[in-house]
Amino acid sequence: MDKQVEERIRCCHPCQLVSKSPRPEPMEPTKLPKKPWSKLAIDVCGPFPTGEQVVVLTDYYSRWPEVKILKSVTSKNILDWLLSVFATHGFPDEIKSDNASYFVSTEFKDTLTSWGIEHKTVTEYWPQANGQVERFNQVLEKHILTAQAEGKAWKPTIPIMLLHYRNTPHRMTGRTPSSLLMNREVKTKLPSFEQQTNDETETRMKDEEEKEKSKKYTDKKRKASPRNLEVGNKVLVTQKHRNKFTTKFHPDPMVITKINGTQIVLKDKNGTQHRRNSSHVKLYQEIPDPEEEIQSDRKHDRQTESREENTEATQTETNQNTTETEIVLRRSTRNRKQPDYLKVAHPYTYQWLQISSPQNSHGYMEGKNAQRVVLSQLKKPGVYQLKVIVRSSHYAYGKAFVNVTVEKPKRVNKPPRADISPKEQSITLPTNEVVLDGSKSSDDDKIVEYKWQELKGPLSEKNKIIKSGVDSPILQLKSLLPGVYTYKLTVIDADDETDSTTATVTVNAEKDYPPVARAGNDVVITLPENFVTLYGNGSTDDHGIKGYEWSKSPLSPACDLQGSTGPILHVSNMIVGDYSFTLKVTDSGGQSSDSKVTVVVRPERNSPPLAYAGDDKDLVFPDDTTTLSAKESTDDQGITSFKWEKLSGPSSVVMSGVEKMVLNLSQLKEGHYVFKLTVTDAKGLTGTDRVSVNVKRDGNKPPQADAGPDVFVKLPNRAAGLDGSTSSDDYGIVSYTWTRDLKSPAAGDVINGSNRQPILRLSNLVKGVYKFRLTVKDAKGLKSYDDAKIFVKEDVNSPSLVELYLDVDITSFTEENKRQLVRKLAVSLNVMDSDIVIEHIQPSGRGNSLVVLFYVRDSLIKQSRDGKEIAYLLKQKISDTFFEFRMQEVEPYVCRNNCSGHGFCDQHTKQCICERFWMQDPFKAKFGLRESNCDWSILYVTVIIFAVIVAIVGISWGVCFCMGRTKSRRRKHQYSIIGDEDSDDAKNATMELFPRDKFLNSSIMSETDMDSDEETLFENQKPYKPGRTSQMNGMLNGAKKKNHHT
């Protein structure tokens, strides 16, 4: 029963979802590739503080890194950079990357395939699978953070960091990346290291040892243990942690369909395939079937009863055979298991590995896990290196290496065989270059030297004839002269054995053939055409024609010639008769040739005109009018007159234009009419034609109007259409008319006059029901009607929609920009790219900008997230420069702003319409949250503004009053020369001159001091006499008294 309880607890579904993950499986180190630059890893690191991201490319063999700083990471930008890198190092065999959108795009995959590169992606949510590039990302990020901490710009330091990294010995291989990739060291400012070995075998051994150490350390730290997962097992998969209540594993178990090392392929209940690492899953314990539990209990009870009966029988037998004085020892009946290491006959295990072998070699190894190994069929000479790893049952470990050298069989040298292709060749000048090919010469080992020698030929400078290849298998000759050349080829092999052969080249002198004159074919023309053009440019010569000469036979009539010394002759003003012209052409060698051509000019001739009255016509009464046209009648000289006649038919017809090209018929009655057309040319010749007109009764049926099914539209989509093209009529519909019902909304525009077309197209629709009537009319005026409706409703996702305004012209916004926008929105909102759903992209109506309408799905709860929440998060997280284009505004599609309780929000402009006596707070609207509001009362604002104005006026008046009082204290006075009425005293007074702006008393100022720059104040100083009063006015000696008033 305890076992059943434990089984029940272990199979508890909720308990399994929240329990810890099992121990991870041991690591599987990646083997070193066979050669450099054959297997690469690529990843994107960032974004960094300045907004850029870094694309990193590393070589698995040499650890050589390449980096590229990009502001916008797209498939095209990455491919352009990869092409520049491959132009230096060549194309690799394989590139490994993660599952980012720019790495799994169709453009990226197709381009790599066209380059012959295999593209592999790592397991999702397991970056360790691409650990080579991830480790360099850590180095790069540490370097950038260090530069930022030192206050340096990090971009200029990247090349120096790459130079040092590429020329520093790597811990895993013991060699620098530059020496492994380019087989040479690069000069740097770093201190020189110890001489590194160039032995590839030691490099591989070092890499394997370091990876083995890292594996042991990591497995021990992670407490790794093998997992017994099999195809078909049900497992639970870890899921993304979204909040505190998110379970560690996804509730729905999945089934393993494929296992490849630590990578497994899973299938969910919907049949979708998923790739995960084995550390992300654990075996799912299902609750056993109740019937199986019952059978298990019964089996367990029978085993227990049988064990108890055996125990009782043993005890009874023991009691009977034991005396009363003996002591019976009760020992446990438990069987003790012998340790496994004591059972092993031999405590050691062996593992033989091939380290290296000659290129393209094959062989067989027997006994890879035995103490003795047998190698066979080693047909390729060279060194075969083997490694043996020995482990004991006590976890001891040892290894050793052995070299097996297969030597080449001894060879008996054979002399080489010289061969020139072709043996004989002949050329004719001006061709003066030939090639002699001696590469077909052969030897059992190899030819080490080729020697060419001219044995016979015309006298010439050897350096001018031999173009190249005198010591190579192929000899190129140039500037050959007429004559016979003989060349000898001598080949020497590695054992100094030689062989020779010769080849002959015959150079023939150039021939000059006479030219061939071609004046063209004979020509026949008929007046009034009196001109012709003769072409002699078909004449040929092997060296080119130097001159042309046209001449007319003396027996030919007179005419005018133009271009008689050129290849083309223009002849005009010709008359009736036969003309003979001769073309003489001359080449550069003075050779000539003649050719004749004849031009026959015939007199003008006239043919009778060809009358054509048109096709017969059928009319349906009451249609009683038609027209007959003779415009397709022809004549070589031109038609001068037309005449129409009625040959038969009812007499009520009215004919208009009987002498014109077009005849108008009216008042036709039911019956058969025959009309005759007669045309006359300028020479009086005539031509006739007849045409019939049948008038019969109408059997027309009314048309059948079909406006199509009703249409349903969800906002914000404001365009729709109704299709009436399925309407029909036996004679054809001539007009369509769409009429809007009077009860339908007036909003909604008809596009391009489609209300007169079979298909009605509308835009700018609003919420409501639109009803339209389609009226069709046939050629006979019969009509038919049909109605259709357009239902415009709000989108169920309206509360979740968000409007994002970007400063970019909609014609410049590409699909690549759209995907990049989705990627950045997903990163900002911490969701998957597939959770961002863009419903509409349209011009914003605010200049050259557009608005993106989207919503965010919550894949966990299968619902859309609130649009106001998304808009708020984007305002908080995203700056104006986060996107590739400047973000102008982000708002929820449905405006839920309460406008401070004093207004309502306009759904179109997202602005508050305030009630009376309320207004917007401009500081809150322009700064801070930048949200429209109705916070301020107009009454309070008016009172405050009035109080501020009164305060300003009061303060201004106070300042002016204080300044006025200060000025009034400093009164201005007018002064004259200080004197005394007593003339005697005045005469005895001494006169003293004062310069301008000098006063005896600071409180006395003369008006003359301020008004004139030329006046000088005089002071009449005299002794003070008590009891005498000084007058206000003074006198100057010999001057008239002057009064000054103060």
Taking residue 534's Cβ as centre, other Cβ atoms within 10 Å add up to: 21
CA atoms of 1045 and 436, how far apart (whole Å): 133
pLDDT bucket at 329, cuts 50 / 70 / 90: very low
Cis preceding-peptide flag for 473 (omega within 30 of 0): no
Lowest mean pLDDT among 6-20, 404-418, 1027-1041: 1027-1041
Asked if the domains 348-406 and 617-697 are classified in one and the same CATH topology, the answer is yes
| Residue 918 backbone dihedrals phi, psi, to 5 degrees | -130, 150
Strands of 281-283's sheet in order across: 273-277, 263-267, 254-260, 234-237, 281-283
CA atoms of 621 and 697, how far apart (whole Å): 5
CA atoms of 962 and 959, how far apart (whole Å): 5
For the residues 362-369, what does the mean pLDDT come to? 84
Q: Which two tokens stand for residue 69?
A: 């700083």
CA atoms of 977 and 1020, how far apart (whole Å): 7
Please tell me the predicted confidence (pLDDT) of residue 568: 92
Lowest mean pLDDT among 419-428, 476-485, 644-653, 790-799: 790-799
For the residues 814-819, what does the mean pLDDT come to? 90
pLDDT bucket at 292, cuts 50 / 70 / 90: low
pLDDT bucket at 118, cuts 50 / 70 / 90: very high
CATH (one of 3.40.250.10, 1.10.10.10, 2.60.40.10, 1.10.1580.10) for 523-591: 2.60.40.10
CA atoms of 657 and 643, how far apart (whole Å): 9
| Cβ neighbours for 557, distance < 8 A, ≥ 6 positions apart | 574, 575, 576, 577, 579, 601
Please tell me the predicted confidence (pLDDT) of residue 982: 46
pLDDT in tens, 529-580: 899 999 999 899 888 889 999 999 999 999 999 999 999 999 999 998 999 9
- In the chain, the amino acid numbered 319 is N
Inter-residue contact 136 to 57 (CB < 8 Å): no
Q: Is the pLDDT of residue 181 over 80?
A: yes
> What would the CATH number be for the domain defined by 424-508?
2.60.40.10
Taking CA atoms, 994 is separated from 978, 991, 997, 1015, in Å, by: 13, 10, 9, 10
Inter-residue contact 958 to 1028 (CB < 8 Å): no
Percent of the chain at pLDDT exceeding 70: 82
pLDDT bucket at 294, cuts 50 / 70 / 90: low
Please tell me the predicted confidence (pLDDT) of residue 1017: 41
pLDDT in tens, 949-1007: 999 999 999 999 888 777 665 555 555 555 444 444 444 444 444 444 444 444 334 44
Please tell me the predicted confidence (pLDDT) of residue 548: 93
Please tell me the predicted confidence (pLDDT) of residue 296: 58
Q: Is the pLDDT of residue 615 over 80?
A: yes
For the residues 451-461, what does the mean pLDDT come to? 81
For the residues 678-696, what does the mean pLDDT come to? 89
**Residue in 905, 804, 805 with CA at minimum distance from that of residue 846:** 805
SS3 575: coil
CB half-sphere exposure, 918, CA atoms < 13 A: 15
Q: Which fold has domain 1-17+231-283?
A: SH3 type barrels. (2.30.30)
Please tell me the predicted confidence (pLDDT) of residue 1003: 39
Q: Which two tokens stand for residue 95?
A: 């590139």
CA atoms of 480 and 436, how far apart (whole Å): 14
Q: Which two tokens stand for residue 371?
A: 């103490």
- In the chain, the amino acid numbered 1014 is E
What is the DSSP annotation of 609-644? -B------EEEEET---EEEE-TT-B-SS-EEEEEE
Report the mean per-residue pLDDT for the chain.
80
| Residue 1008 backbone dihedrals phi, psi, to 5 degrees | -70, -25
Taking residue 653's Cβ as centre, other Cβ atoms within 10 Å add up to: 18
Architecture of domain 26-191+198-222: 2-Layer Sandwich (3.30)
**Residue in 136, 159, 131, 134 with CA at minimum distance from that of residue 147:** 159
Q: Tell me the Ramachandran region of residue 638: left when phi exceeds 0, alpha when psi lies from -120 to 50, beta otherwise.
A: left
> What would the CATH number be for the domain defined by 711-794?
2.60.40.10
Domain boundaries, the chain: 1-17+231-283, 26-191+198-222, 348-406, 424-508, 523-591, 617-697, 711-794, 798-942
> What would the CATH number be for the domain defined by 798-942?
3.30.70.3310
Residue 246, classified by CB atoms within 10 Å of its CB into exposed (0-12), middle (13-18) or buried (19+), is: exposed
**Residue in 526, 685, 524 with CA at minimum distance from that of residue 604:** 526
| E strand intervals along 417-573 | 424-428, 434-437, 447-456, 466-468, 474-477, 483-493, 498-508, 523-526, 532-535, 545-552, 560-562, 568-572
| Residue 153 backbone dihedrals phi, psi, to 5 degrees | -75, 125
Longest dimension (CA), the chain: 182
| Cβ neighbours for 740, distance < 8 A, ≥ 6 positions apart | 770, 771, 772
DSSP 8-class letter at 163: H
SS3 398: strand
Q: Which of 38-52, 123-137, 263-277 is predicted most confidently?
A: 38-52
Q: Is the pLDDT of residue 79 over 70?
A: yes
- In the chain, the amino acid numbered 933 is N
Please tell me the predicted confidence (pLDDT) of residue 1012: 41
**The dihedral formed by the CA atoms of 360, 361, 367 and 373, expressed in degrees to the nearest 10:** -140
Residue 570, classified by CB atoms within 10 Å of its CB into exposed (0-12), middle (13-18) or buried (19+), is: middle
Helix (H) or strand (E) holding 939: helix 938-969
CA atoms of 287 and 39, how far apart (whole Å): 47
Q: Tell me the Ramachandran region of residue 520: left when phi exceeds 0, alpha when psi lies from -120 to 50, beta otherwise.
A: left
- In the chain, the amino acid numbered 262 is T
> What would the CATH number be for the domain defined by 617-697?
2.60.40.10
Please tell me the predicted confidence (pLDDT) of residue 92: 94
| Residue 571 backbone dihedrals phi, psi, to 5 degrees | -115, 130
Inter-residue contact 236 to 16 (CB < 8 Å): yes
Inter-residue contact 690 to 674 (CB < 8 Å): yes
pLDDT in tens, 509-538: 877 788 999 988 999 998 888 999 999 998
Lowest mean pLDDT among 86-90, 149-153, 508-512, 556-560: 508-512
pTM: 0.32
Q: What CATH superfamily classification does 348-406 receive?
A: Immunoglobulins (2.60.40.10)
Inter-residue contact 387 to 370 (CB < 8 Å): no
pLDDT bucket at 349, cuts 50 / 70 / 90: confident
pLDDT in tens, 91-108: 999 999 988 888 889 999
Please tell me the predicted confidence (pLDDT) of residue 210: 85
Please tell me the predicted confidence (pLDDT) of residue 902: 79
How many contiguous H segments (helices) and E segments (strands) does the chain have?
17, 54
What is the DSSP annotation of 75-125? HHHHHHHHHHHHHHH---SEEEE---TTTSSHHHHHHHHHTT-EEEEPPTT
User: How are beta strands 118-121 and 654-656 bridged, if at all?
Assistant: unpaired
Higher pLDDT, 703 or 1039: 703
pLDDT in tens, 484-504: 999 899 999 888 889 999 999
CA atoms of 202 and 199, how far apart (whole Å): 6
Q: Which two tokens stand for residue 532?
A: 């012709």
Taking residue 708's Cβ as centre, other Cβ atoms within 10 Å add up to: 18
Q: Is the pLDDT of residue 481 over 70?
A: yes
Q: Which two tokens stand for residue 618?
A: 């059928």
Percent of the chain at pLDDT exceeding 90: 22
User: CA Rg, the chain, in Å?
Assistant: 56
CA atoms of 185 and 196, how far apart (whole Å): 10
CB half-sphere exposure, 917, CA atoms < 13 A: 3
